[in-house]
Each structure stands twice: as C-alpha cells, then as structure tokens.
Structure 1
Amino acid sequence: MSDQLTEQLKEIAKPVVEQEDMFLVDVEVKPASTKEIWILVDSESGGVNVDTCSRISRELAFLLEEENLINSAYRLNVSSPGLARPLSDSRQYLKNSGRRVKVKYKSGDDYLTVEGELTHVVNGTSFDVIADDGSHIKIGFSDVVETKVIPKI
C-alpha cells in the first residue's frame, strides 16, 4: 500500500510543485503514530524558501483532503532535500556545478568512487568531475550509484 500511496502522492504533488517553478525530487511516506508525508522539492532557478514550501503545502493539503487518499491522521512536510541527501535528479547537478562532490559510479563491471569538483553538466546525459589528482572524469547519469555534495567547512 505504501508504494501505491507514494506513487499517488507523486502524481498529485508534481503539478502543484511545477506551478511554483520548482520540481519534485522525491516523496516519502514514513510510518509513525502520526504518519509523516515528506514532499521534497528543488528549483533550477534559485533556492527553496519557506513561503514557497508553505504555498505548496497548503495546496497539497487541500488536494489530499479532496482525494481522501489517507484515512488516518498525518503530518505533511514540504522541504528542500538538504545537503545530507544524495542528488537524485539531473537538474540538481546543474545547480550544484562548481561544488565539491563525492560520486559512487559504475564503470564496466567495477564500482568506483571519486571526490572532486562537479563541472560541465550536460543535462540528462553526463557530467564531469575534476578529481583531487587533477584528472577529469566523465560520468553518465545512468552509471551513477550515488552523488553527495560535500559542504565547505
């Protein structure tokens, strides 16, 4: 039921998020005494702010009540994915170009890891990482296992 609910939530949330000039990164349903629904959003043209999240949350709450998808108490949270979450949409790579990343990726039959600067993002296709040793590594999005932004300290 949870996978089906997650897919239904994505279908409802996507147009609401897009009307705010943002894109849907993920939807998570977390079981708890009060079920938690997390709608994770991002923007190509800027950051994610509280006012936009509030508008999305109000519209989604209205639609969820109208659709009557959830028949128990729940808490709706709309937020940016934050730095702790791996990048999951190619649009997030473009936004993070120039930042330091750690990428786990598949190369042939091997799994490799590289740390360095994210550069030259070709939306939907590939990106480059300038590794710490100065080498340039081209990685296709289809080969990515996980990419995390490394915050500056």
Structure 2
Amino acid sequence: MSSKLEQLQALLAPVVEALGYQCWGVEFISQGRHSLLRVYIDHADGILIDDCEKVSRQISAVLDVEDPVSGEYTLEVSSPGMDRPLFTLEQFAAHAGEQVKIRLRSPYEGRRNFQGVLRGVEEQDVIVQVEDHEYLLPIESIDKANIIPRFD
C-alpha cells in the first residue's frame, strides 16, 4: 500500500468507525490535476444512500481541516457492493471459496490478470486457483481484487 493510501486510511478509518460503520477500504486514483478519493463503508444491516451522505459529510469536514490531498479531487463514499473489492489479508481470508478477479501491479509468471477461486491466505500471500494451478500472489503486488458475484 502506498504511503498516501496508508495516510488516508489512518486518517479516515477512525471517522467512519466513530459513526458506527466499518471502513472497508480506501482507493485514491490520481488523474492528473483532478483525483478521485473513494471510501468504502460497510455495516451488518447494509448501506443506504443516507449512510453514504452522513459519512461523506464527516469525512469532508476532516479532509478540509487536515488537507491530506493536494489539488482538486472528488470524494465518493460507497458500499463495497456485490463485486466488493478486497484490500486486506483478513478480507481475502474471510472470502475464501469465492470467485475472484485479481490484477497485479507487474506481471507474475508472465501474467497480470488472474481469475479463479480464492483459496485463502498464507503469511503475506493470497492463494488463488486458476483452473488446475494454484498461485501464491504477494498482497503487496496486488493492484486490484474483486469478488465476482454469483447469481444462483
């Protein structure tokens, strides 16, 4: 995780949790002069638009005071949704058995994209089975990981 992401996570997670929600994860996408800060929140009862608004107002106030992001940016507060992104080893472990799509920052064994069954974690690696082969992917090399929703 980049130091900017770690800084934002450390700043925003306590604000989200103080409001009674779980801070599922933070994404910061730098797009030239205008960036995107996305904060995912979760709750056992689910997330409604009112929840996102409430958290957004609190986070905005903290960001205005602390000013951790230089330049213009858009703040989005969202539920992780059915295709929830995975950020931590704990989240990967909790969703073992699910179908996942993982993109790496740089190629591993000649590929950056993996889609298969999440088998769990081992130390700092995420285990994903693609067809008949298991890959151990270091968590720090994962750029993006999402659960593939099932519609049974």
Tell me which interval the TM-score lies in, with the shorter structure as reference length. 0.5 to 0.7
Q: Is the 8 A contact 2:16 2:41 kept in 1?
A: no
- One-letter amino acid matched to 1:100: Q
1:116 aligns with 2:151: no
Q: The residue matched to 2:61 in structure 1 has which SS?
A: helix
CA change 1:84–1:39 in 2 (3 A) is same
Q: What's the C-alpha RMSD, in Å, of the aligned pairs?
A: 4.3
Structure 1 residues 31, 15: CA separation in 2 closer, same or farther (over 3 Å shift)?
farther
1:13 maps to 2:15: no
Q: Structure 2: how far apart are the matches of 1:59 and 1:46? A: 20
2:38 corresponds in structure 1 to 39
- Dislocated runs of 4+, deviation >6 Å: 5-8, 29-32
Q: Is the 8 A contact 2:89 2:126 kept in 1?
A: no
Gaps of 5+ in 1: none
Q: Percent identity?
A: 24
**TM-score (norm. length: structure 2):** 0.58
Letter of the 1:13 partner, please give it: L
List gaps (5 residues or longer) in structure 2: none
Could you say which residue in structure 2 is the equivalent of 1:151?
149
Task: Determine if contact 1:13/1:24 at 8 Å carries over to the other structure.
Answer: no
- Could you tell me the TM-score, scaled by structure 1's length? 0.58
Q: What secondary structure does 2:22 align onto?
A: coil
Kept in 1, the 8 Å contact 2:95–2:118? The answer is yes
Q: Which has the larger radius of gyration?
A: 1
Letter paired with 2:114: V
Maintained 8 Å contact 2:116/2:130: yes
Residue pairs, 1:80-91, within 5 angstroms: 80-82=79-81, 87-91=86-90
Q: How many residues align?
A: 143
Instruction: Show the counterpart of 1:79.
Output: 78
